[in-house]
């Protein structure tokens, strides 16, 4: 069995960060392919990605096992596949009620918060000034902070993450932790502590180091 994870420029690609964290949480070795995004010839970037997946988007996970190769695309689908293949990693809570909530958190992040994404793009290695936020963006930030505080109050004492131990819900919101740090979003003490725990993950620190290298080399 072997894994290859195809990701985009690390300073920008929030979708790539999510399955990277999930895969790191399993402790399984994997190969990594980084594709530069936002190049001058955008069609060339899409063509490169399509060599790995017809969807033309990153991330992509290639699984080689028993003589066959399986391609999985879309960050949430990849995270679900990783959780299914490695239950020992505990990427979903054991309790069914907490697991249902965690899945709802992950799905809401996956499909929602368009104004947040638009105005506060991920720029992992930098600190940037806050733009003038639209009302919708402010409401979406408030929704995220409120949901984090609720989850942490109910489950945080069991491990410090949204649903106790580190889960796919945390993977899905890790780019938001980055965004809130980059733009200096004001947060409560419990949320600040939670964000510090996410940042302290070795996988987050490795991603940050790679992002800073991209910035230093002018890639990002």
Judge whether residue 219 has pLDDT over 90.
no
Per-chain mean pLDDT for the chain = 94
pLDDT for residue 75: 96
Q: What is the pLDDT of residue 41?
A: 47
pLDDT digits (tens, 9 = 90+) for 40-95: 445 556 677 777 777 778 999 999 999 999 999 999 999 999 999 999 999 999 99
CA angle 116, 142, 138 (to 5 degrees): 50
Q: Kindly list the structural domains of the chain, giving each domain's residue range(s) and its CATH number in brackets, ordered by start.
A: 2-88 (3.40.30.10), 92-203 (1.20.1050.10)
Q: pLDDT tens across 196-205, in order?
A: 999 999 999 9
Return the pLDDT at 56: 73
Position 151 pLDDT exceeds 70: yes
pLDDT band at 159 (very low <50, low <70, confident <90, very high): very high
For residue 25, the model assigns a pLDDT of 98
Q: Are 37 and 94 in contact (CB under 8 A)?
A: no
Q: What is the 3-state secondary structure (H, E, C) of 94-153?
A: CCHHHHHHHHHHHHHHHHCCHHHHHHCCCCCCCCCCCCCCCHHHHHHHHHHHHHHHHHHH
Least confident of 5-9, 37-41, 82-86, 188-192: 37-41
Report whether pLDDT(209) > 50: yes
């Amino acid at each position: 069995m072997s894994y290859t994870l195809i990701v985009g420029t690390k300073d920008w690609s929030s979708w790539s960060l999510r399955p990277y964290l999930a895969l790191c949480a399993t402790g399984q070795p994997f190969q990594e392919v980084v594709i530069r995004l936002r190049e001058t010839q955008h069609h060339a970037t899409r063509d490169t990605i399509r060599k790995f997946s017809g969807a033309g988007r990153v991330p992509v996970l290639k699984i080689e096992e028993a003589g066959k190769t399986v391609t999985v695309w879309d960050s949430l689908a990849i995270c679900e596949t990783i959780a299914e293949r490695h239950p020992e990693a505990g990427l979903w809570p054991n309790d069914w009620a907490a697991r249902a909530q965690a899945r709802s958190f992950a799905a809401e992040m996956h499909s929602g918060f368009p104004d947040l994404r638009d105005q506060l793009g991920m720029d992992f290695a930098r600190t940037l000034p806050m733009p003038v936020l639209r009302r919708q963006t402010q409401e979406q930030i408030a929704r995220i902070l409120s949901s984090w505080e609720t989850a942490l109050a109910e489950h945080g004492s069991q491990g410090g993450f949204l649903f106790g131990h580190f889960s796919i819900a945390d993977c899905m919101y890790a780019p938001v932790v980055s965004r809130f740090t980059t733009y200096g979003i004001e947060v409560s003490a419990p949320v600040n502590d939670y964000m510090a725990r996410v940042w302290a993950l070795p996988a987050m620190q490795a991603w940050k180091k790679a992002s800073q290298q991209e910035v230093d080399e002018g890639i990002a």
